[in-house]
Amino acid sequence: MNISRFNPSNSDIPEHTGNGIQPTTADSDDERPGKRQKLSAKTETPSYVLSVTISNDRNHIVAITAEDKAVRVFEVEKTGELKELSKRCMFKRPSTVELSDDDSTIFVGDKFGDAYSLPLLPAADFIPKAQVSRTETQSKPAASLTTVHTAANRKILEAQMKAIDAAKPKEGLPFEAKLLLGHVSLMTDLKFVTLENESGGGKRRSYLVTADRDEHIRVSRGPSQAHIIENFCLGHTEFVSKLCFIGKGRYLVSGGGDDELFVWDWLQSKLLRKVDLRGPVEACRGAGEDSSSANASVPDRVPICVTGLWRYVVSGSECVLIACEGVAGIFLLNLEPIFNAGASPQISWTTLPGNLLDTVVSESSIVVSVDGIHAKNSCSVVRESVEGQQLCVLKPHGDGATFDVDDFFTDSNERRETNRDQIDKTKVAERLYTTGLLRKRRGQEGESGDVEEME
């Protein structure tokens, strides 16, 4: 998860809102109100960045923000600064974002379970299609209340009239966007992949693989045929929060609220392996007990919540890095034993100075963001000495199963000090630790109010 604040008032670009209305200022010299009204000062509400992805050419960054339900596109300038190019507000809050292989298309999944495709940059001359009202195509009853005499017929006529009055024209998004597919619950992750034809014919086929809160992994065809479902990968008993392609896209690793990671031959809906995650997480938590807070007691058994899966290659071996919510450590799964029937895959771990929030993997290094506000392995206890968010650089140690942790900051990069008394602990926890809210209560089916904070 990527959490940071973005102030909309700093942007001068046109805003495309989900209701098709361009924002306007409150005051205007061309119109005079009939009655003077006392206006209260408008307070800007910061939008929190939920997730970001970068284009393959490293020229653009796409971010989704929470409060305004927006998809934002930034240009990476030569100085390293970001210039916002567009802001498009969706109907529902986005929950995941992905780019196509050629960086021309944005795929967005939302909390309502729908997935959309948008062009990377909106067309300036785009004209929304006119929406036809149901009242224009639905004929009105020939009868009226003055011609109907029986009570039963009167009730039927009143119900018909109410249905016609309630039918309003549907407002489309004021920018180019195509609805691709839908789940019946909150979409948690979306991945796009293009595979070469194994027969060598040169024809490539693309797929959209999506996960949801209801333990489903759905495999759909590419954007032009996304309504066609190829198969499902079923086996999780808790929510699925993260997906990661491995083996040139032929295999899939999934994780969420279960105690194991699942490795799939996803085209065949075949589960290859379950890899225990509970043991490494408990061992990491035990080794990383925080002494910065006297009250930082950790329960013996905490539910697993996978918040990140990243493909990583070290010493020629393909691996997967794993992050879990509220755990001050990073985990590494070497994939070679996965495909060896006689080998037992193991997950190694490295403790970190704070709960792992997010990771950036490059060919030369790994940079991780850790929580410097809460005590290690706690989502609620605040440290006695608050250091703010920290960045660390991880370097492979020995055989590459563990890492050496170095501080990202140098003498030229001043660390921003944070005053403990100025921190709203509740709001910080709500922003940083939301994956656990996906877990259903016992006996609960489908969506419920326990994820209302994410809407």
Q: What is the structure's pLDDT at 157? A: 78
Weakest mean pLDDT among 131-135, 329-333, 398-402: 131-135
pLDDT digits (tens, 9 = 90+) for 241-289: 999 999 999 999 999 999 999 999 999 999 999 999 999 999 999 886 6
pLDDT digits (tens, 9 = 90+) for 96-109: 999 999 999 999 99
pLDDT cut 70: percent of the chain above it: 73
300: pLDDT strictly greater than 80:
no
Q: What is the structure's pLDDT at 363? A: 74
Q: What is the structure's pLDDT at 21? A: 41
pLDDT digits (tens, 9 = 90+) for 145-173: 777 778 887 888 788 777 766 655 556 78
* Confidence grade of residue 346 (pLDDT, cut at 50, 70, 90): confident
Q: What is the structure's pLDDT at 25? A: 41
Q: What is the structure's pLDDT at 387? A: 67
* Confidence grade of residue 444 (pLDDT, cut at 50, 70, 90): low
Weakest mean pLDDT among 5-19, 248-262, 324-338, 351-365: 5-19
301: pLDDT strictly greater than 90:
no
14: pLDDT strictly greater than 70:
no
386: pLDDT strictly greater than 90:
no
pLDDT digits (tens, 9 = 90+) for 170-223: 567 889 999 999 999 999 999 999 998 766 666 789 999 999 999 999 999 999
367: pLDDT strictly greater than 90:
yes
pLDDT cut 90: percent of the chain above it: 51
Q: What is the structure's pLDDT at 87? A: 95
* Confidence grade of residue 406 (pLDDT, cut at 50, 70, 90): confident
> The pTM is what?
0.79
414: pLDDT strictly greater than 80:
no
Q: What is the structure's pLDDT at 170? A: 57
Mean pLDDT of the chain: 81
Weakest mean pLDDT among 215-224, 339-348, 443-452: 443-452
Contacts 24+ apart (CB under 8 A), 293-299: 293/375, 293/378, 293/381, 293/382, 293/383, 293/384, 294/384, 295/381, 296/375, 296/376, 296/377, 296/378, 296/381, 297/381, 298/377, 298/378
* Domain locations in the chain as residue ranges: 1-21+46-108+121-128+154-173, 305-440
